[in-house]
């Protein structure tokens, strides 16, 4: 990164694998050579709870939000949350779908991830995403041994985004917060299957 580059956060939210939105973001960012982005990638965001996690991260790291969502309620939740946080929120496909639909005289099917074949790898990603969401932030620690990876770390170490990133690749990731003065769950010491990774942070950042 060049010394004078402006750095900003870019959030990409999708209810599918996110391949479309990644391609669009790369094409867009190529037009701004004097800026560098910190990318926050949120694939398989299909529930209000998942959207709450997205909005929490957007609040901590404000920046433009681009999304591909077909569920009207999730769209409204994301747009409303971005408006409250005063960050731009842009739907990538809506203008294109609307224009094509108007030309054809047809209504879109609103089928999530319609361009992707529903193969075994796809369902593995769905299963991994569900696992990461239900084992986020120390939930259901008695089931941690069913994970492929368990992240342990203090606050603001991007545990949840990292788990969702791994889940999009079919890896069942869980995370457990480390809070000073609070004991870690006993089940963490008895794991036999998952890889356990500790995440650290700069103390100065924690007190900002």
SS3 for 94-158 is HHHHHHHHHHHCCCCCCCCCCCCCCCHHHHHHHHHHHHHHHCCCCCCHHHHHHCCEEEEECCCCC
Q: Are both 87 and 158 inside the same structural domain?
A: no
Given a cut of 70, is residue 208 above it in pLDDT?
A: no
Q: Is residue 109, in this structure, part of any structural domain at all?
A: no
Given a cut of 60, is residue 2 above it in pLDDT?
A: no
Task: From 69, 104, 139, give the residue that closes a domain.
Answer: 104
Given a cut of 70, is residue 153 above it in pLDDT?
A: yes
Strand order in the sheet with 65-68: 35-42, 6-14, 65-68, 89-91
Q: Is residue 110, in this structure, part of any structural domain at all?
A: no
Q: Are both 12 and 62 inside the same structural domain?
A: yes
Q: Are both 98 and 133 inside the same structural domain?
A: no
Residue 51's nearest CA partner among 89, 20, 13 is 13
Alpha-carbon span 25 to 101, nearest angstrom:
24
pLDDT of residue 111: 57
Percentage of residues in the chain having pLDDT higher than 70: 88
Q: Report yes or no: 29 and 37 within 8 Å, Cβ to Cβ.
A: yes
Q: Are both 84 and 138 inside the same structural domain?
A: no
Q: How many domains does the chain have?
A: 2
Q: Are both 98 and 135 inside the same structural domain?
A: no
Q: Are both 96 and 139 inside the same structural domain?
A: no
Per-chain mean pLDDT for the chain:
84
**pTM to 2 decimals?**
0.52
Per-residue pLDDT tens for 75-130?
999 999 999 999 999 888 777 767 777 767 877 655 555 544 445 677 788 889 88
Q: Are both 165 and 84 inside the same structural domain?
A: no
Q: Are both 80 and 131 inside the same structural domain?
A: no
Task: From 104, 137, 152, give the residue that closes a domain.
Answer: 104
Pairing assessment for the beta strands 149-153 and 195-199 based on DSSP bridges: parallel
Q: Is residue 111, in this structure, part of any structural domain at all?
A: no
For the chain, helix, strand, coil in percent to 5 are 40, 20, 40
Q: Are both 34 and 124 inside the same structural domain?
A: no
Q: Are both 76 and 130 inside the same structural domain?
A: no
Tell me the average pLDDT across 136-164: 91
Q: Is residue 187, in this structure, part of any structural domain at all?
A: yes
Residue 39 CB-half CA count within 13 A: 16
Q: Write out the residue range of the structural domain in which residue 47 sits.
A: 6-104
């Amino acid at each position: 990164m060049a010394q004078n580059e402006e750095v900003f956060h870019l959030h990409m939210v999708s209810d599918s694998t996110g391949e479309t939105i990644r391609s669009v973001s790369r094409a867009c960012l190529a037009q701004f050579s004097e800026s560098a982005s910190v990318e926050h990638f949120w694939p398989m965001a299909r529930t209000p709870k998942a959207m709450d996690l997205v909005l929490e991260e957007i609040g901590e790291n404000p920046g433009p939000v681009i999304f591909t969502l077909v569920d009207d309620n999730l769209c409204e939740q994301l747009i409303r949350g971005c408006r409250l946080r005063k960050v731009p929120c842009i739907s990538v496909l809506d203008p294109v779908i609307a224009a094509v639909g108007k030309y054809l005289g047809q209504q879109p099917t609103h089928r999530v991830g319609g361009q992707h074949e529903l193969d075994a790898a796809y369902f593995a990603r769905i299963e991994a995403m569900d696992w990461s969401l239900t084992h986020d932030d120390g939930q259901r620690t008695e089931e941690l041994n069913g994970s492929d990876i368990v992240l342990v770390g203090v606050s603001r170490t991007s545990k949840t985004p990292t788990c969702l990133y791994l889940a999009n690749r079919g890896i069942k990731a869980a995370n457990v917060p480390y809070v000073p003065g609070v004991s870690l769950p006993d089940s963490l010491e008895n794991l036999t299957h998952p890889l356990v990774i500790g995440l650290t942070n700069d103390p100065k950042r924690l007190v900002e």
